[in-house]
Amino acid sequence: MKNCSEEQTRIDYVRNEVHGEGGWRELWAGFRLRTFPYMLGRETKFSFSSLGYLFLKVLLLLVAAGVPIAARKLGPSATPTQAQPTNGSLWDVITRLDSTDWALVGIVVSVTIVGKLADKLAATGKFKSGGPEAEVASVLEHLPLEIHPEPPSPFKMSTEHCKAIQACLVGIRHEIGKLLLDDSASVITDVVYLQFTDASAKYLSVRTRIYEDKAARPFEAKQAMAYYVALLGECMAENDLHSGRSPFKPQRISVPGKIRTSYRSMLFVPIITSELDTDGVPVDYCVGVICVHSPKPYRFWRFGDHRRSSSTFCNVAHKAIEPYSKVIRRLSSPTPNRLKVLT
Amino acid sequence: MTANATRQSVEELRSTLREIGVARFEGRIEAGIIDRAKGEAVVDAFIAEQRSRPWVSRVVNFVLDAEESYR
């Protein structure tokens, strides 16, 4: 009875909290942990010093725009009308600005922004070279022309299959890195592919991960959030595993011992196959789940996601990794080890 | 079934996509249950809509030159 209640709690959490609309709480946490540090252009936590830094940046822009106006108003060439004292209010100062003043403000702001745009254009080539596409293509090239169905047990998977899936995981990390504008190993620490190890889908196992292509020991599927993602059959992201709100313990379950996870946010992409039942109604099955780990909270979140039940980041990520997930789906199915998705 | 799928209107497919999500929708395309050309066009339109950035993100990017995420 207790297990049943616990399972329902976990389903509700994944459906409502992880996948559902986050609202104001998610907005505040996401802004504080994700958007605000990026507004500063650096990885910092929300603090008075970081707020001061942002204020300083805006102030510098305002001062730069104000200098030419002050020169005109206070300089020796200022006309009596320009030099006329105001009643002290900011609005009064603004209403007294003439077209020349506004033109000067426009020039200063434009010069500032053009510099930023130039920096941005120079940085756009960051991901154009050095990607793992060549490596992935090389591995996939050596696959048999006709890919055979996977054997019932993933532990009997051929070396070519394992290497191909591993190569796809490398490609996935690269694609997600492009979306995050940073594909360094410190941002995405690992990409894991989980598969069910039995036909009743009671156990999951790490099929392969970026740095290791050996299958790990199976563990009880219902302990893992990935199981509930597979059950619901939708892409989703856990924004902060260490928030204390989750019914899932922030511990690694694929290894023995109670080791705290080093990652705080996880992106889940279920691999779904479909069939028609005898009545011609589509039935969906999950054959595995791709998990992307990041040590930073709210990594797979973008401002605005709090208003949507289905995260925009997850949907965009699903599309971005599609070439790789297609290969994984092809290699993983058909298999009897799968979980029927809830309708 | 492919013939049936071809008859499905784009609007129906869009509604199905919103109901079941991208992962299951792609699974059905791959299985041949949903017409590939129409299905992928619907997914592409959906993703293009999802990629559009909220105004806060645009303002932050423009003023502070700090990209929050993908474009």
3-state secondary structure A282-339: EEEEEEEEEEEEECCCCCCCCCCHHHCCCCHHHHHHHHHCHHHHHHHHHHHCCCCCCE
Q: CA A342 → CA A18, A166, B32, distances in Å?
A: 16, 29, 21
Hey, what are A223's tokens? 């302990």
Give the helix/strand (H/E) hosting A265.
strand A265-276
In the predicted structure, residue A30 carries a pLDDT above the cut 70: yes
Q: CA A41 → CA A19, A264, A267, A295, distances in Å?
A: 28, 21, 23, 18
The CA distance from B7 to the nearest CA of chain A, in Å, is 15
Chain B residues with beta carbon closer than 8 angstroms to that of A26: none
Q: Is the ipTM of this complex over 0.90?
A: no
Structure confidence at residue A229 (pLDDT): 92
Q: For residues A105 and A67, what is the distance between their CA atoms, to the nearest angstrom?
A: 9
Most A-contacting residue of B7, B16, B22, B63 (CB-CB within 10 A), to test interface: B22
Angle CA(A157)–CA(A341)–CA(A180) in degrees, nearest 5?
75
DSSP 8-state code for residue A251:
B
Chain A residues with beta carbon closer than 8 angstroms to that of B45: none
Of the ranges A35-49, A186-200, B8-22, B34-48, which one carries the lowest mean pLDDT score? A35-49
Cβ distance A280 to A143 under 8 Å? no
Q: For residues A109 and A235, what is the distance between their CA atoms, to the nearest angstrom?
A: 42
Most A-contacting residue of B7, B68, B71 (CB-CB within 10 A), to test interface: B68
Question: Given pLDDT bands bounded at 50, 70 and 90, which one contains residue A125?
Answer: very low
Decide which of A61 and A317 is more confident.
A317
Question: Given pLDDT bands bounded at 50, 70 and 90, which one contains residue A283?
Answer: very high
At residue A303, the 3 state secondary structure works out as coil
The per-residue DSSP string of A181-207 comes to T---TTT--EEEEEEE-STT--EEEEE
Chain B residues with beta carbon closer than 8 angstroms to that of A303: 54, 56-57, 68
Angle CA(A153)–CA(A155)–CA(A161) in degrees, nearest 5?
95
Q: Which residues contact B42 (CB under 8 A, 6 or more apart)?
A: B10, B13, B14, B17, B25
At residue A37, the 3 state secondary structure works out as helix
What single-letter amino acid sits at A152? P
Chain B residues with beta carbon closer than 8 angstroms to that of A304: 53-54, 56-57
What single-letter amino acid sits at A96? R
Which of A181, A273, A276 comes nearest B27 by C-beta? Answer: A273
Hey, what are A225's tokens? 């959030």
DSSP 8-state code for residue A276:
E
Residue A283: how many other CB atoms lie within 10 Å: 15
Scanning every residue of chain A, which has its alpha carbon at the shortest distance from the alpha carbon of B18? Answer: A310
Chain A residues with beta carbon closer than 8 angstroms to that of B56: 35, 303-304
Burial environment of residue A319 by CB neighbours within 10 A (0 to 12, 13 to 18, 19 or more): buried
In the predicted structure, residue A172 carries a pLDDT above the cut 80: yes
Most A-contacting residue of B50, B56, B57, B60 (CB-CB within 10 A), to test interface: B50
Q: For residues B21 and A342, what is the distance between their CA atoms, to the nearest angstrom?
A: 13
In the predicted structure, residue B34 carries a pLDDT above the cut 80: yes
Could you read off the pLDDT of A182-239 as tens digits, one per residue? Answer: 767 778 888 999 999 888 889 998 888 887 766 678 889 998 999 999 999 989 888 8
